Structure 1
Amino acid sequence: MDCVVALDVGGTTMKGGFVAQDGTILHFEQRATPRAEGPGRVIAEISAFVSELSRPRAGLRPLAVGLAVPGLVTETHAVFSAAFGWRDVPASAFTDVDLPVALGHDVRSAGEAELVYGGHSSGDVLFLPIGTGIAGAVVLSGSLYGGAGGWAGQIGHVPVWPDGLACGCGQRGCLAAYASGGALAARCGVASASEVARRVAEGDERAVQVWDEAVEALAAGLATYTLLLDPDTVVVGGGVSQAGDALLGPLRERLAARLTFRRPPELRASVLGARAGVLGAGSLGWRAASPAA
């Protein structure tokens, strides 16, 4: 069966596999992202993962590679990533396999997958995966919006508290410095955001404080986004969204309280969950394969 290699690179894990043209995930595996070992090590691990996935397997014929990475991304370069510390990395550095390769932004690609497979084919929507970092995929009138340079949606680096905590991007007070999975874990001194959520449920004082500040920061960021672009729906995904109503419940209340003179957008969890990133990378791969398919 014809397929593409799809790799979604996150700050904590890399999710890869084979995706058929109809969006069926034929094979899936994941491994840790060695972010703490520096940008060169992450690039080398991406290349190794793509090479392993591209090896011939019985009944499967990879036609291309779709690679979705965070940060500022063009079709030819990973321009900047606060999560990984890389700058101007060419697409060719991520793999040397003899297949067409398409490079794209992780969240925008996942947003495309939500549009195609998640039932959000029309309207004005913000897809907001909250993982190690935060970014958004902006959908206007049913179409993804990239902005003048293709970099729209960097809501994680919108300052919600201008004189607040330092962010890895070089600014202060960014939404991601309070509400990303990486920030939640670091501020509580634990290994993961899921551990923070567990401690919140147990009433841990520090975890409750950090979680409350994260929800308030998200409400502030989403209120600004809503007043500017008037979405009908905000779809929350990523690892932090697995907290479910512990996140979405208070976030709905805080967002509504900030939007004093208008109705807030609907706030819902992603339908695709962890599959969105791989399916988005698969869509990139199929675009690269189309001339030969």
Structure 2
Amino acid sequence: MSSFVVALDVGGTSMKGGLVTRSGEIIRTDRRVTPRDRGPAAVIATIRSFIDDLAAAGGGTPEGVGLAVPGLVTAEAALYSANIGWRDVPATDLVPLDVPVMLGHDVRTGGLAESVLGAGRELSDFLFLPIGTGIAGATILHGEPYGGSAGWGGEIGHIPVFPEGEPCACGQIGCLETYASASAVARRYSARATAASPPSTSVSASSTTSPVATVPPVSVLIPFPVPVPAPVTAEQVAALTASGDPLAMEIWGDAVEALSLALATYTLLLDPSAIVLGGGLAEAGTLLSDPLAERLQKRLTFRDAPPLRQAALGMSAGMLGAALLGWRAAGFTDAGTTWSLDVLKSSRVP
């Protein structure tokens, strides 16, 4: 049996795990629900159990463990996560095995994977921008993710792009995430479509010509034939945009405008060689990238905009980045440099 590491990408909804060999072969993948509704202790217990089960499936002791987790993170501890609720959890508390372990921030770990293995493989400096339920960025400098002085670097989703706009859950007004995340696109379309639907009307029974005067007025609801739209997904909004639906095109246009404003600011500050788009919204392909590239270039009037690239690793980026952390924890700092992208993409996380 080849030596391997356990790699785990812990999200607010689910955990994606795998066993990855020194040569980059993914020999097992699995997924489990993150029980955050039961509290941080239950999440930690599930992580430990998941790691145990993965290691047992590998038929031996792993060389190391790498974990990608949300929130404020160092290599040795998960300091804080609003999504999960934990505070100051040492990495060793998450791993039931006596092996080297390394933690990484979930988005920055995905950026590391794209840097070493994926769309940024030959780039020194770029922005990894996964656009999913929320928006966070990973600044890659000299091939490595940069978290800032205290680990808060990369929160591009909370750049205010429309100062007089909609409130954000973070407490600010008009944040990028409020307009351009997948959840925001779906929410804004559903809200506008619902508001535009004609409401039900009522007709009072007292207005009829019935000669019986003893019957009190009764309101009878007569709905219009057009029902109130059900909530839609961002994928459906993208499809409606492509088909020419006016409301979808407006909501999609707001998202593109918000992204162009934030990315213009980022570009002027850090001059990335490329912007790598990932996450669910980026799956729209040129429907997103073409208008975004055009608007970004119009904002950068005196210089060329950085090229936009599609992320190469998809939903596997976090787990593969965790595998790199696991091998680094085991002392192999050059892990991934010879791994085949074709092999990695053939073993998708379920």
1:125 pairs with 2:126: yes
**Which residue of 1 is the match for residue 239 of structure 2?**
198
Alpha-carbon distance between aligned partners in 2 of 1:36 and 1:195, rounded to the nearest angstrom: 28
* Partner residue of 1:236 out of 246, 270, 277: 277
Q: Is the 8 A contact 1:73 1:151 kept in 2?
A: no
CA displacement, residues 189-217 of structure 1 (integer Å, 9 cap, x when unaligned): 54643233233334445443332221111
Alpha-carbon distance between aligned partners in 1 of 2:85 and 2:165, rounded to the nearest angstrom: 21
Aligned residues: 290
**Highest Rg: 1 or 2?**
2
**Which residue of 1 is the match for residue 318 of structure 2?**
277
CA displacement, residues 136-155 of structure 1 (integer Å, 9 cap, x when unaligned): 22123444333222432221
Q: TM-score, normalised by structure 2?
A: 0.73
1:226 pairs with 2:267: yes
**Which residue of 1 is the match for residue 344 of structure 2?**
none
CA distance 1:229–1:94, shift in 2 (3 Å): same
Alpha-carbon distance between aligned partners in 1 of 2:178 and 2:145, rounded to the nearest angstrom: 26
CA distance 1:193–1:63, shift in 2 (3 Å): farther
Alpha-carbon distance between aligned partners in 1 of 2:82 and 2:247, rounded to the nearest angstrom: 26
**Mapping of residues 69-218 of structure 1, within 5 Å:** 69-84=69-84, 86-92=86-92, 94-118=94-118, 119-189=120-190, 190=231, 192-218=233-259
Alpha-carbon distance between aligned partners in 1 of 2:186 and 2:288, rounded to the nearest angstrom: 15
Percent of paired sites with the same residue: 56
CA distance 1:234–1:162, shift in 2 (3 Å): same
Alpha-carbon distance between aligned partners in 2 of 1:2 and 1:17, rounded to the nearest angstrom: 13
Cα displacement (A) at 1:115: 1.8
Alpha-carbon distance between aligned partners in 1 of 2:324 and 2:46, rounded to the nearest angstrom: 22
Q: Is the 8 A contact 1:67 1:102 kept in 2?
A: yes
CA distance 1:53–1:263, shift in 2 (3 Å): same
**Which residue of 1 is the match for residue 217 of structure 2?**
none
- Could you tell which deviates more after superposition, 207-216 or 235-244? 207-216
**Mapping of residues 26-37 of structure 1, within 5 Å:** 26-33=27-34
- DSSP 3-state at the match of 1:7: strand
- DSSP 3-state at the match of 1:79: strand
CA-based RMSD of the aligned residues comes to 2.8
CA displacement, residues 88-108 of structure 1 (integer Å, 9 cap, x when unaligned): 444355443444332111121
Q: Is the 8 A contact 1:136 1:153 kept in 2?
A: yes
Letter of the structure 2 residue corresponding to residue 160 of structure 1:
V
- Could you tell which deviates more after superposition, 259-268 or 115-124? 115-124
- DSSP 3-state at the match of 1:183: helix
Letter of the structure 1 residue corresponding to residue 96 of structure 2:
D
CA displacement, residues 242-284 of structure 1 (integer Å, 9 cap, x when unaligned): 1111111111111112112211001110122223211101011
Q: Is the 8 A contact 1:23 1:279 kept in 2?
A: no
Alpha-carbon distance between aligned partners in 2 of 1:186 and 1:123, rounded to the nearest angstrom: 36
**Which residue of 2 is the match for residue 254 of structure 1?**
295
Alpha-carbon distance between aligned partners in 1 of 2:251 and 2:310, rounded to the nearest angstrom: 21
Q: TM-score, normalised by structure 1?
A: 0.85
Cα displacement (A) at 1:157: 2.0
Q: Is the 8 A contact 1:162 1:173 kept in 2?
A: yes
